[in-house]
Structure 1
Amino acid sequence: MKKMIRSIQLPGTTFLLFICLICSCRKKAFDEYYGRPDWLAAPIYQQLEAHKNFKHLLAAINKAGYKDILSKAGYWTFFAANDAAFEKYFQEKGIGGDDGIDSLTARKIVTYALVYNAYRKDQLSNYQRAGQPDTSQGYKRKTTYYDWVYTESTHSGKIIAANRNGGYAANDNNNKNIPYFIDRYLSANGLSGADYNFFYPGIPYTGFNVMDATVVNADIAAENGIIHEIDKVLLPLQNLEGYLSANPDYSEFKSLLDKLVTYQSNADLTHRNMVLTGSTDSVFVKLYSAALAFSPNNENYISSSTDAQTAGWTLFVPKNDVLRAYEKEILVNYGTFEAAPPIVLLSLLNAHMWQNSVWPGKLAVTGNSQHEVPTFTMSDITDKKVLSNGFFYGMNTVQDANVFRTVYGKPFLDPAYSLMTRALDADLKFSIINPSIKYTIFMMPDTKLRAAGYDFNSDRNDWSYQAPGGTIQFGSGAQDRLYRILQTSVLTTLNGELDDLSGEGIVEAWNGEYVKYKNNTVFASGNADAGTVLHIDKLSTAKNGNVYYTDGLLTFTENPIGFHIEQLATTDPTNFNSFYQYLKSSSLWTSTKDIAGTVPGNFYTVLIPTNDAVSTAVKEGWLPGNATTGVPNFTPTLDADKDKVTRFINYHILNKNSVVPDGKKSGAFETLLRTTGGDLTFITINNQLNVMDLRDAFNNSVLVNVARSNNLSNRAVLHSINNFLRYKVQ
């Protein structure tokens, strides 16, 4: 056996040669399968070398320490400035050549031109997100460049920008984006070269521009990405905060923003900075209030994801002189922002902040963070910049916020009306700040509200009401009472119905109740009960209506409808007494003088025939009494006669509607009467100003006696009519 084994042993050298032969064959096969194909383009660095016109850029890459990165595997887009671009840059900067660029500048040039992921021109306009990209929605990409810590003269330690609106997230370097302008994006979004040239006048728009550079050779393939040759050296753009801070024309706006800045120390960033630089200074994150529309130092967009490819922030900043004049106007009652509620300053700033990219051609139709269209035009723009995180416009006017310029602004900007403002904020604010709808409001001073028993308890976060001689009430009851006064004090006056109070009239308030005016006085149902009126002390105009300052409040009645009918029967018996006598003797009359079938909180119109009209109804058999003489029988004993009275009264009450002769409400209106089958009955109204024609079930015409009508009651109006209304119950 040993002889056999010995006979097949090979000399050591021969064995090694045999092994090498096998390995050589296998390596060749491996290289053929896995090796770099001959047709594969060289990496970005080597491609730049091969093209022979990037020697200055290559020098910058070397100086920045990026040769190795751009020479090996990766997935980049590189906007490569050619030699002509660098030579122009040298001339502009007054430097002799490559040696004049220090390593820090070189790093800025290289890293800001280097974009994560490889994109051909036709891919750059895509918005990359989960699922699949949205075509034609992208005009920016994230670069490898980001700012690190810096110093401010007003703060000790090192500062770093927030990378979220109102916050900071670890492991996010707040990388800057680089904007580009491609024909596919512009045309798909209704834009044109004019939008580009507004920002970059004198630079030809070619269909593929990067900032103010032109792409002269696109889609150069490389092993580790795509190169786009450009004709200008690009440095990182400032962000909105940086540009604002550097320009003294906007120092007032910056000072207002600074009121909403806090500095938050960050131990992790402090340690990282020490490792990188050796500095032991504390690092603070510069945070803007989360109540602002955005943080102007935040390079990310809303979702802090790839959405920055599609849009950015926009800041419109007034010059110092116009802004200071505007501040003086809105702070006339407070003096300073510190004395005013914080929302005043926030409203001013947010009115100038847009949470999207406002292109010049889309200015008129693009709303700001408060959903307001601009109150200025492009002719007011004096400065414009495309920046790393958005667009900046300087201007010689202000964005006049709706909360300031509308009727809402009068109580909002006056501490004497803080309770009214609080109530408006919870109820009507977002209606009455609409500048395109005209309103009239009657002011509700804190002193008058408190004198009437109303207040707001901050500890309980609740409204309170105390009736004369009563105990304090909290909760919905107190709130509902206050809101009812508030809603009676706000009126939609599209046609200027309350522009002139010297005459006489009636106007529907926000809540459906009515307010009357006469000889420059006004009153609501509660004032009528008290026999008082409000006198006009002052009129102030706003963008969307008039604001009246008076000597009281528009109050509501505490009494039921029957109470006011009874009063009318006493003061004007010829027009109201017969109807009242039938009513109070009927089953509809309650001990509290309510009318059975009416529901508290609903609206009603009571149409009351005159005594003569009631007499006619008696003669025709619609009401019990002497059919020959027309004398009423107010206390019938027969059930059939009692039913006549009930049906008659119910047909003369409009259900869930208050209607006055103001020319606004016309059509068929439901009454309280039901047919024997339970169906609704109706009266048709043809309504004109000071003329209201009623048509009953037989199309008979009955007119409202305007001079005796428009009597205010509890969510109701009481009218005198010159005839009675005939109904059908079958």
Structure 2
Amino acid sequence: MRMNTMTRVRILFFLFCVVSIMACRKKSWDEYYGRPSTLAQPIYQVLEARGNFTHFLKCIDKSGYKSTLSAGGYWTCFAPNDDAFEKYFQENGLSGDEAIDSLTAQKIVKYALVYDAYRKDDLTNWQQSSGPDTSIAYKRKTAYYNWVSKEGDSLILAANRNGSYVEADNNNKYIPYFIDNYFAYQGLSSYDYNFFYPKSTYSGFNVANASVITSDIPAENGLIDEIDQVIVPLPSLEQYLNSSDEYSEFRRLLKKVISYQSNANITERNYALTGHTDSVYIKYYDAGNVLGLAFSPNNENYMLATTDAQTDGYGMAIPTNAALIPYESQILEHYKTFDAAPPAVLIALLNAHLWTSSPWPSKLQSSTNSSSETPTFSLSNVIDKKVCSNGFFYGINAVQQANVFRTVYGKPFLDPAYTLMTRALDADIKFSLINPDLKFTMVMMSNKTLIDAGYSYNTDRDAWEYLVPGGTVSSGSIPQSRINRILAASVFLTRNGEMDDLSGEGIVESWNGEYVRYKNNTLFAGGNMDDGTVVHIDSVANTFNGKVIYVDGLLTFSEVAIGAHLGRLANSDPDDYSDFFNYLVKSTIWSNSDSTITGMTAGSPYTIFVPSNAAISDAVRSGLLPGNAATGEPNFAPSVLEDQQAVVQFLQYHILNKNQVATDGKKSGNYVTLYSTLDGDPTSIKITNSVGNMTLTGMSGDVAHVKVSQSNVLCDMAIIHTIDKVLDFRSE
């Protein structure tokens, strides 16, 4: 059936209305949702419109990033202007744009692109999930990263963590910038910038060696900063180190802590990108653990592998071959090679030249390396410097003197004849001994000496062992504590050279508070005195923080109870010690079963002042002690309670509690005794001490003198002196 004219008219009218309505709606839609006329164009189009980025635009075209920079996104683009490219062409001998291949163009463009758009004022913010931290950032992650490369005959990819690898991370390079408010906050100046970039001018907003001409140019998909230099991707610390044969020896040593591991997923990805079927190996440095390298020089991330690389980086101060090789000969005097030495020796050498925080030039001398050491070199030793993508590089014509080598600790550490001593030091006082600001004297303990004395280390059990003379082997905490005590008694803090001359006679306090005596170039501790032996000095070696003494034996501690020592002295020197001992053994504080004294704790330090027999007779005559006042004859076992208490008070008052004091002139002042009054108040003796002379002043002002020639008897954590007067122990 044919459609009549009226129907056709109606249909046409309906279609006209529909089209009109849709047109009106589209206009309204466009007016509401369409692109505002004031909105900036995308980065690519803005660069085109400005007219002075023609070379950079050609690089963008070659790199394949035109569509990326013409569409959505969020970038900060450090765009070199045409003048920058003209300089780049001239400096690199290039004829023009056609001389830049697509690979180079990709490097220039991708390294110019920072993820996210930042105004100048925001670039110094450290971006964190909790919010930005202001004025502490000077780097941002770029779109550029190194992919698989050839190393010898193998395909290699750098690790992106310190000692590990995460596949989701491309190890993108960072680009540094130097902004005035960051410099002000960090206490830096143009000196720090020009130290690395002497041919550039610090402008208050620099990106690598470039100055920012115009900042914060808006674009739909980010911000543009116009710069006056073409910036190619900065090398990592590893890449820069590998670029010069002057550092080949350090590279050789670094190779000893490198390992390679094939990665199937990266191999497959590389095949998809390049068509190469060979396995790809991840290049690892032995880092990220307390016994390894401070960091991986090929890792573009920082310590936390988050955004912390915005705020800091690593540092390397690498000695030239001419400086390093002779130094190796010094530290390998005994081991000869690093392969023969413990791994810790090589790690210590390498880590001494690594910084876990980038050291700025103006702050280099106060910075500390990964071993917490300040530089032993100065800026005058710097012959090469480079801001790298992951840190600062300094080439130096000297070595960083590692404290573990140059201090007294270095003598056993670097000698295979002293590995047991080194093991003991590592577990106890190593970090004190490597302090270069202190001065020590240390008596060496060879493996042979320790083994002959019954000490050894069981590596299977990871424990010290001790063979008791005539007995069995013990293992665990007791041998450990014994070796620690012997070790501590062999270390002396000698700030004023107290042990520079041991040809005479004297006494010195060791690290753990026990004393050691010397006479005619021999040494003896409490155990040696008990045995009647001495340790002979063979030779002396000087170090940066003191000296070590090589000897023919071991300084041993006394294992004889203090009371038993007093008994021996009463027999060997009765005129000075017998009456005091007789009062002691008859008193209520004496234990006859084990020769101990009530109130004295085993392992705690004490000083016993023993009045001579003549002094005790004088005290009896004066009524201070029980006995015959007419003759001065002591009554060692009085029956009267008051006299018994007087004897105990006398004994306790002449014992310093928790302190050892020798006639070395070091300790003076008031010292608490073992005696407390009935009210519980402590009593004290005032000591006036000089080398070879000591006087005691009691509570009543009476004075006694130490008889030095019969004193300084070394016991188990105690020292015994004889004095010429009984101090009045009666409290007011």
Q: Quick one: which of 707, 710, 729 aligns to 2:709?
A: 707
Does the residue aligned with 1:434 lie in a helix, a strand or coil? coil
State how far apart, in whole Å, the 2-side matches of 1:199 and 1:89 are: 19
Does the residue aligned with 1:72 lie in a helix, a strand or coil? coil
Does the residue aligned with 2:57 lie in a helix, a strand or coil? helix
1:437 equivalent in alignment to 2:438:
yes
- Residue number in structure 1 paired with 2:455: 454
Deviation (angstroms), 1:678: 2.5
State how far apart, in whole Å, the 1-side matches of 2:295 and 2:328 are: 22
Name structure 2 gaps, 5 residues minimum: 1-5
State how far apart, in whole Å, the 2-side matches of 1:242 and 1:207 are: 29
- Residue number in structure 1 paired with 2:409: 408
Deviation by residue 1:634-670 (Cα, 9 ceiling, x = unmatched): 2222322222211110111111111112222222222
Name structure 1 gaps, 5 residues minimum: 1-6
State how far apart, in whole Å, the 2-side matches of 1:98 and 1:371 are: 49
Deviation (angstroms), 1:132: 2.1
Does structure 1 retain, via aligned residues, the 8 Å contact 2:58–2:97?
yes
Does the residue aligned with 1:386 lie in a helix, a strand or coil? strand
AA aligned opposite 1:293 = A
Q: Bigger shift: 668-677 or 454-463?
A: 668-677
- Residue number in structure 1 paired with 2:117: 118
Does structure 1 retain, via aligned residues, the 8 Å contact 2:141–2:174?
yes
Deviation (angstroms), 1:10: 8.2
- Residue number in structure 2 paired with 1:257: 254
State how far apart, in whole Å, the 2-side matches of 1:496 and 1:22 are: 103
- Residue number in structure 2 paired with 1:660: 662
Q: Bigger shift: 491-500 or 124-133?
A: 124-133
- Residue number in structure 2 paired with 1:200: 197
Deviation (angstroms), 1:672: 1.3
Does structure 1 retain, via aligned residues, the 8 Å contact 2:672–2:682?
yes
- Residue number in structure 2 paired with 1:183: 180
Does structure 2 retain, via aligned residues, the 8 Å contact 1:121–1:218?
yes
State how far apart, in whole Å, the 2-side matches of 1:683 and 1:228 are: 77
State how far apart, in whole Å, the 2-side matches of 1:198 and 1:568 are: 71
Does structure 2 retain, via aligned residues, the 8 Å contact 1:78–1:115?
yes
- Residue number in structure 1 paired with 2:465: 464
1:560 equivalent in alignment to 2:557:
no
Does structure 2 retain, via aligned residues, the 8 Å contact 1:351–1:399?
yes
Deviation (angstroms), 1:21: 2.4
State how far apart, in whole Å, the 2-side matches of 1:116 and 1:728 are: 83
Does the residue aligned with 2:628 lie in a helix, a strand or coil? coil
State how far apart, in whole Å, the 2-side matches of 1:10 and 1:175 are: 68
State how far apart, in whole Å, the 1-side matches of 2:55 and 2:215 are: 19
Deviation (angstroms), 1:180: 1.1
- Residue number in structure 2 paired with 1:377: 378
State how far apart, in whole Å, the 2-side matches of 1:131 and 1:25 are: 47
- Residue number in structure 2 paired with 1:551: 552
- Residue number in structure 1 paired with 2:312: 311
- Residue number in structure 1 paired with 2:625: 623
Q: What's the TM-score, normalizing by structure 2?
A: 0.97
1:152 equivalent in alignment to 2:151:
yes
State how far apart, in whole Å, the 2-side matches of 1:550 and 1:139 are: 56
State how far apart, in whole Å, the 2-side matches of 1:607 and 1:140 are: 68
Q: What root-mean-square deviation, in Å, do the aligned CA atoms of Structure 1 and Structure 2 show?
A: 1.4
- Residue number in structure 2 paired with 1:489: 490
AA aligned opposite 2:380 = S
Deviation (angstroms), 1:47: 0.6
Deviation (angstroms), 1:9: 11
1:533 equivalent in alignment to 2:530:
no
- Residue number in structure 2 paired with 1:77: 76
Does structure 1 retain, via aligned residues, the 8 Å contact 2:188–2:362?
yes
- Residue number in structure 2 paired with 1:689: 691
Q: Bigger shift: 561-570 or 450-459?
A: 561-570
Does structure 1 retain, via aligned residues, the 8 Å contact 2:699–2:731?
no
AA aligned opposite 2:120 = K
1:642 equivalent in alignment to 2:641:
no
State how far apart, in whole Å, the 1-side matches of 2:310 and 2:127 are: 8
Does the residue aligned with 2:596 lie in a helix, a strand or coil? coil
AA aligned opposite 2:10 = P
Deviation (angstroms), 1:20: 2.4
Q: Bigger shift: 213-222 or 139-148?
A: 213-222
Deviation (angstroms), 1:728: 3.4
Superposition pairs of residues 228-627 of structure 1, within 5 angstroms: 228-290=225-287, 291-590=292-591, 591-627=593-629
State how far apart, in whole Å, the 2-side matches of 1:99 and 1:333 are: 60
- Matched positions, count: 722
State how far apart, in whole Å, the 2-side matches of 1:413 and 1:32 are: 81
Does structure 2 retain, via aligned residues, the 8 Å contact 1:383–1:393?
yes
Does the residue aligned with 2:77 lie in a helix, a strand or coil? strand
Does the residue aligned with 2:242 lie in a helix, a strand or coil? helix
State how far apart, in whole Å, the 2-side matches of 1:663 and 1:19 are: 112
Does the residue aligned with 2:195 lie in a helix, a strand or coil? helix
Deviation (angstroms), 1:472: 0.5
Deviation (angstroms), 1:8: 11
Does structure 2 retain, via aligned residues, the 8 Å contact 1:674–1:729?
no
Runs of 4+ that moved beyond 6 A? 7-10
Deviation by residue 1:333-361 (Cα, 9 ceiling, x = unmatched): 10100000000000000010000110000
State how far apart, in whole Å, the 2-side matches of 1:624 and 1:322 are: 77
- Residue number in structure 2 paired with 1:26: 25
State how far apart, in whole Å, the 2-side matches of 1:10 and 1:643 are: 136
Q: Bigger shift: 209-218 or 631-640?
A: 631-640
State how far apart, in whole Å, the 1-side matches of 2:254 and 2:138 are: 28
AA aligned opposite 1:571 = S
State how far apart, in whole Å, the 1-side matches of 2:533 and 2:25 are: 109
State how far apart, in whole Å, the 2-side matches of 1:52 and 1:394 are: 42
Deviation (angstroms), 1:729: 4.6
Does the residue aligned with 1:437 lie in a helix, a strand or coil? coil
State how far apart, in whole Å, the 2-side matches of 1:91 and 1:479 are: 70
Deviation (angstroms), 1:471: 0.6
AA aligned opposite 2:30 = D
1:52 equivalent in alignment to 2:54:
no
- Residue number in structure 2 paired with 1:136: 135
State how far apart, in whole Å, the 1-side matches of 2:382 and 2:315 are: 13
Q: 1:527 to 1:10 in 2, by over 3 A?
A: farther
Does structure 1 retain, via aligned residues, the 8 Å contact 2:540–2:547?
yes
Deviation (angstroms), 1:563: 1.9
Does the residue aligned with 1:11 lie in a helix, a strand or coil? helix
Does structure 2 retain, via aligned residues, the 8 Å contact 1:240–1:392?
yes
Deviation by residue 1:283-330 (Cα, 9 ceiling, x = unmatched): 000000021100000000011111111111100100002111111100
State how far apart, in whole Å, the 2-side matches of 1:196 and 1:519 are: 60
State how far apart, in whole Å, the 1-side matches of 2:21 and 2:622 are: 126
Q: Quick one: which of 676, 679, 689 aligns to 1:677?
A: 679
Q: Quick one: which of 204, 209, 212 aligns to 2:209?
A: 212
Does structure 1 retain, via aligned residues, the 8 Å contact 2:505–2:517?
yes
Deviation (angstroms), 1:495: 1.2
AA aligned opposite 1:435 = P
State how far apart, in whole Å, the 2-side matches of 1:253 and 1:240 are: 13
Does structure 2 retain, via aligned residues, the 8 Å contact 1:676–1:729?
no
Deviation by residue 1:505-527 (Cα, 9 ceiling, x = unmatched): 11111111100011111110001
Does the residue aligned with 1:455 lie in a helix, a strand or coil? strand
Identity of aligned residues (%): 57
Does structure 2 retain, via aligned residues, the 8 Å contact 1:454–1:463?
yes
State how far apart, in whole Å, the 2-side matches of 1:13 and 1:494 are: 110
Q: Bigger shift: 662-671 or 166-175?
A: 662-671
Does structure 1 retain, via aligned residues, the 8 Å contact 2:318–2:394?
yes
State how far apart, in whole Å, the 2-side matches of 1:193 and 1:262 are: 41
Deviation by residue 1:455-514 (Cα, 9 ceiling, x = unmatched): 111111111111111011011111111111011001111111111101111111111110
